[in-house]
Amino acid sequence: MIRNRLMIHAFGRVGAVSLVMALMLLLNTAHFAVAAGASTMNQRAEQAYKLAKKEYGQFNRDRKQWSKRKNWIRLIKRFTRLHQDYPHSQRADDALYLAASLYSSLYNYSGWNADLQRSNDLYGKIVADYRDSRLADDSLYHMGLNAIRMGRQEQARSYFRQVIQDFPKGDMVGKAKARLILAPPPAKKTSSSCAKTGGTGVYQPEAPRGKGSLKGKARVDNIRYWSSPTYTRVVIDLDHEVSYTRGILKDKRQRDRIKSIYLDLHNAFISGRSRNIDINDGILKRVKVAQYNKQTVRTVINLDSIADYKIFDLGNPPR
């Protein structure tokens, strides 16, 4: 009887040991399954990232694609979709960062503050959701640069101060401190007929007078510009597409120096008299827009000091 009890007790202990071993085996199996799942997710994310990065490289090398907004948006969506599909992967922050930088670069062609704001929204997501990422301080710093381009100086300073405060050991601290020291002063006032706000301007022609001869011609709606320390952009807004020719005028005293660039918009009109838009930002002096003849609007851009220039057209809306 005692032996039976001992046997039962021993069996019970063996059963308990077996149960513990079984639980440990199950826990180890579950841990292995989670680790294997994470590994598979990272592998898929890495593969998707490599494909998107390859397209990104091709896009950077093919400048012809840059003039169409849809090409930028298609590439941006590849990276944002990668983040949406693999938000916990090792490439989630990289994908967001490249999407944000593409929106920032797109602004150079669109001139739309909305693109800079979309860029900052994505950079901000990195700072909020991936704070331990090596790209978090870079994102915050670029949010400051975008804020400067949007004319939001105080907001930019706030971002730079946050870089120093939140990421004191990051590689963006030195740049953020330099930006705070070299922060540009408020934009100077100008007597230009163009309404100017923080390095930007818009000239709106008068409403068209009369009918008949203007039928079928493209109307010049706005002439806008943006100034920064390194570049100036002039945009001509039209109500529909036009053909155009371009040319340069050399300085008579220095034949190797370009004095002006002109752009002739064919089968177009601008309402009212010719206008001079003063810029004087060290790159461009002024822009003159006038009805050159009955069929042509000529825009003349007087240069101060430039290293290079580009002229290209964009659609939807025509610019």
| Domains in the chain: ranges and CATH | 39-133 (no CATH), 195-303 (2.60.40.3500)
In which band, very low, low, confident or very high, does the pLDDT at 235 lie, cut at 50, 70 and 90?
A: confident
Could you read off the pLDDT of 77-108 as tens digits, one per residue? Answer: 999 999 999 999 998 999 999 999 999 988 88
Residue spans of alpha helices (H) in 185-268? none
Residue spans of alpha helices (H) in the chain? 2-61, 69-85, 92-110, 113-129, 136-149, 153-166, 173-181
Span of 147-151, 238-242, 294-298, 313-317 with lowest mean pLDDT: 313-317
- CA angle at 192 for the pair 187 and 193, rounded to the nearest 5°: 125
Span of 2-6, 126-130, 264-268, 279-283 with lowest mean pLDDT: 2-6
Cβ atoms of residues 178 and 163 within 8 Å: no
Cβ atoms of residues 126 and 139 within 8 Å: yes
- What are the CA-CA distances from residue 268 to residues 261, 287, 292, 295 (Å)? 19, 18, 10, 6
Burial class of residue 97 in the structure, from the number of CB atoms within 10 Å of its CB (0-12 exposed, 13-18 middle, 19+ buried): buried
Question: What is d(CA 145, CA 26) in angstroms, rounded to the nearest whole number?
Answer: 52
Is the omega angle on the peptide bond into residue 317 within 30 degrees of 0, that is, cis?
A: yes
At residue 82, the pLDDT reads 93
Q: Rounded mean pLDDT of 152-174?
A: 91
- CA angle at 248 for the pair 244 and 254, rounded to the nearest 5°: 175
Question: What is d(CA 226, CA 201) in angstroms, rounded to the nearest whole number?
Answer: 7
Percent of the chain with pLDDT over 90: 28
